[in-house]
Amino acid sequence: MAVATKYVDREIPQISLLNFPQRIDEIAAAICNAAETVGFFAVKDHGLSEDEVQSMFTVSEAFFSLPDSKKATVPWSPQNVGWEKMSQVRPSTGEADTKESYQLQFGENMENLWIGDDDVPDFKKKSLEFMHRIQGISENIMLCLARGLGFEDDYFTKYHDVARPDSQSTLRLLHYYETPKTNDGIIRHRAGAHVDWGFLTLLFQRTGQSGLEICPGREAVTEHALGDAWTKVEFEPGVIVCNIGDLLMSWSDDRFKSTYHRVKAPCEEGDYFGERYSIAFFNQPVKDAIIQGPNKKYPVVTGEEFTRAAMNRNFGILKEKLAAKEKEKELREAKLATSAAQVQAAA
């Protein structure tokens, strides 16, 4: 039986990046404080205009409006790029998210995986321009995080160099499907509770298309935060919501907190049941990046090794979850068969 979600109000710090070169120390202190406590924060005055954001949403919608047969020409690949539909299963739910996504990168992994201009005019050009704009904002945040940990200012940015052919940072275009307003007995998950395994995520959402919820304090929550109190996150024009991933949590010796979050499927009055579009930019280091915090709490690993371990861990948890669900199904069927046999015998 589903347990009703407990909600609490939490402040998600909004940090202005205005006059960044002159205010670096002030901004760094604010970002690091938010990373240590909430694990989520929002940045404004970052230089990316709302027109640029909405223009990218228009490009995203144009892609998702294509027939599935056309989108399937740029299929998802193990390199974390390409199009997928209803295929991302979360360990927290054991069910596929009710969404589709198209993941883009800067480098060689995108070979033959860009949708053509005949299908979406200037798709590659417009997407890369937007990605470079977000990368610039990310680098300012990385500088602040590095300074807060006592590293050199370029410590993180050099490991996230998108000019390298093996760059791993990813832009994910997301389209969540409309949800029925009447209860049809099907449990849906737009994006089940999870943490990001990368370094830092920057998220864009259209105003009014609600659903994002967070459960801060990674060390204080239950498994997948399913029994803890959540906070609804509302988006404002001009604001980018950011969150810390597992990799940065490890790289900071657990000082910065990776935070559980989800996109709850609408189920009550006031929820948004329509199609939902969002865009996420995942900062992920190059494969040969050296990952170790200033206090050396964890052994040295490379960016490639950390990513592989995170994916294997998630797969293991998911495998256990699906096995448990299959066992439950078998027990239910056995119980029903026993009941039917007893009724037949009584007759």
Q: The domain that contains 48 carries what CATH number? A: 2.60.120.330
How far are the Cα atoms of 27, 120, 228 from residue 172, in angstroms, in the given order?
27, 17, 28
Note the pLDDT of residue 1.
40
Domain membership of residue 217 (yes or no) is yes
DSSP state of 97: -
List pLDDT tens digits, range 46-59: 999 999 999 999 99
- CB under 8 Å to 112, separation ≥6 — which residues? none
pTM above 0.75, yes or no: yes
Distance separating alpha carbons of residues 276 and 174, to the nearest angstrom: 8
- CB under 8 Å to 145, separation ≥6 — which residues? 28, 31, 32, 35, 156, 200, 248, 252, 256
Q: Which two tokens stand for residue 186?
A: 């099907």
List pLDDT tens digits, range 102-117: 999 998 899 999 999 9
Band (pLDDT 50/70/90 cuts) for residue 221 is very low
Tell me how many domains the chain contains: 1
Q: Are 233 and 214 in contact (CB under 8 A)?
A: yes
Distance separating alpha carbons of residues 181 and 179, to the nearest angstrom: 6
Displacement of CA 157 from its chain's centroid (Å)? 20
Any idea how long the chain is? 347
In one-letter notation, the amino acid at residue 233 is: V
Q: Which two tokens stand for residue 76?
A: 């998802």
* Residue 255 pLDDT greater than 60, yes or no: yes
Domain membership of residue 1 (yes or no) is no
List pLDDT tens digits, range 124-135: 999 999 999 999
Locate tokens 């070979």: which residue?
111
Displacement of CA 84 from its chain's centroid (Å)? 15
Locate tokens 């006031």: which residue?
270
Buried b or exposed e, range 250-268, using 16+ CB within 10 angstroms: bbbeebbbbbbbbbbbbee
- pLDDT higher for 323 or 5? 5
Helix (H, G, I), strand (E, B) or coil at 75: strand
**Which class for 186: exposed (0-12), middle (13-18), buried (19 or more C-beta within 10 A)?**
exposed
Domain membership of residue 280 (yes or no) is yes
HSE, CB side, 13 Å, CA atoms: give it for residue 96: 11
Domain membership of residue 339 (yes or no) is yes
User: Domain limits at 136?
Assistant: 6-346
